[in-house]
Amino acid sequence: MALTLVPPLAACGATEPQNAADPSGNPADNWDTRGAKALRGAIAGRAAHGLDHLDFDASADPDSAEGRAALTRTALRYAAALARGASDPTKLYDLYTIPRPDPDLKAGLARALAEGKLADWLNGLAPQGPAYTALSHAYLALRAPDARPSPAIPAAPEALRPGASDPRIPAIARQLIASDYLSAPPPQGDRYSDAMVAAVKRMQADYGIKPDGVIGADALGILNLSDQDRARALAVAMERLRWLERDPPKTRIDVNTAIARLAYWRDGKLVDSRKAVVGEPGKETPQLGSPIFRLVANPTWTVPRSIQESEFAGKGAGYLKAHDMAMKDGWIVQQSGPDNSLGLVKFDMQNEHAIYLHDTPAKALFGEVQRQRSHGCVRVDDATGFAARIASDEGVREDWDKARQSGKESFVSLPHAIPVRLLYQTVYLDDHGEPVIHADPYDWDERVARKLGFGTRTGHVLKGGSGDIGP
């Protein structure tokens, strides 16, 4: 059963509609005292959606035409925030093509008012899945009047180094566990153990800090993520979920570029999850919706102009020959083979931005914590195994095996294109269904937070410049 995030208002004391309700007409014709009260009650509970930093004025009097028009405007604005988001990602980012909800809110509002079910209708507009519910519960817990602020870990005159003892160790361990960097139970005593050092290094890598395990001012600042910062991240995460269609394709591939992981859904079930390498800051993987329509075995790589003019500037013929590259019609082309920058598999996608999934010879990158390293395309861990799985699921495994064995660039079309969503979500659920706040490697949450009414926050932004020439 879907959780009702905003409790419906009790009907006691409500008045009967003054005018005959017309569910197909103008919503303004259906307002009465009961409808206005229901709207105010719903808006009063907007913290359940992380919208409590935004104002929705529902104080107008439903007895006047002007008041009913004002209530309609407010109701439609609040309904849009729940149904599609309070912000527009296509205006926040240079590129955003992931499918979004588009309900007829005006007709829905008229019907809800006519039937006396405004609160129920508004509740149903927001996402109803377990992820949104978990985010909502966590946000409300942080915003509760009786919530106790998490105590800050105090600073010290000197940085905490591996092997040292410090009375702050239990508090540091608790924070590392809460952020999913350290497995519970926490270590005993006050020694900065090897396990904690490894956890701190993972955290540092996530946030673009030198992963040396030394807890100085920067690392302590991350560990001291305030409740306000947590609430901010949770509200942004809910907003990002509201941008997404409520009934996504049952078979699809989702890539979360914030944590560099891929999830493969088949017939409504999660059947595969694996690491990915995505665009580095400055060459970010865009938030894109685009289907895979064919598999490419033993791909060649035509180097894009942007990479050709930057990474290949000044490279001579010797360099090109050493990397099995040659000029062809003014383009640099790398021949098929295990050392090709696309590896042995390419997953062709239908978009005009030259973004796709592919294999890579740089396997070591999948062992890194911070995997924002590419020029924007998505590298898939064990891409050959993943391609074989897709080929089997789509009934073209025999064709795919022949293409692989040919040793030449070969194309195998899929009977059904598989939708891919390149998402960006800095909060994810752990194995217990609890939200974990991750780093914001592209600093993309800040612009969303401002649209939700949160103040400006300066965080740790990952820096690009990996030097990797691959796409």
Partners of 203 in beta bridges: none
Give the residue carrying structure tokens 């007709």.
107
The pair phi, psi for residue 92, each rounded to 5°, is -85, -25
Close Cβ partners of 266 (under 8 Å, ≥ 6 residues apart): 250, 251, 393
Task: Exactly one of 358, 375, 438, 460 is catalytic; name it.
Answer: 358
Q: Could you give the CA distance from residue 143 to residue 214 in angstroms, rounded to a whole number?
A: 33
Which of 49, 53, 375, 377 does the annotation list as catalytic?
A: 377
- SS3 labels along 160-224: ECCCCECCCHHHHHHHHHHCCCCCCCCCCCCECCHHHHHHHHHHHHHCCCCCCCCECHHHHHHHC
DSSP state letters, 116-139? T-HHHHHHHHS--SHHHHHHHHHH
Determine the residue type at 280.
E
Q: Is 12 a catalytic residue?
A: no
Q: Residue 423 is inside which H or E element, if any?
A: strand 410-423
Q: How far apart are CA 27 and CA 36, in angstroms?
A: 12
Question: Active-site residue 377, yes or no?
Answer: yes
Backbone dihedral angles phi then psi of residue 210, each to the nearest 5 degrees: -50, 120
Q: Could you tell me the sign of the dihedral formed by the alpha carbons of 373, 229, 430, 81, in that order?
A: negative
Report the alpha-carbon distance of residue 273 to residue 51 in Å, rounded.
32
For the chain, the maximum distance between any two Cα atoms, rounded to a whole number of angstroms, is 85
Task: Compute the distance between CA of residue 316 and CA of residue 173 in angstroms, rounded to an integer.
Answer: 52
Cα–Cα distance measured from residue 357 to residue 293, given in angstroms and rounded to the nearest whole number: 12
Catalytic residues: 358, 377
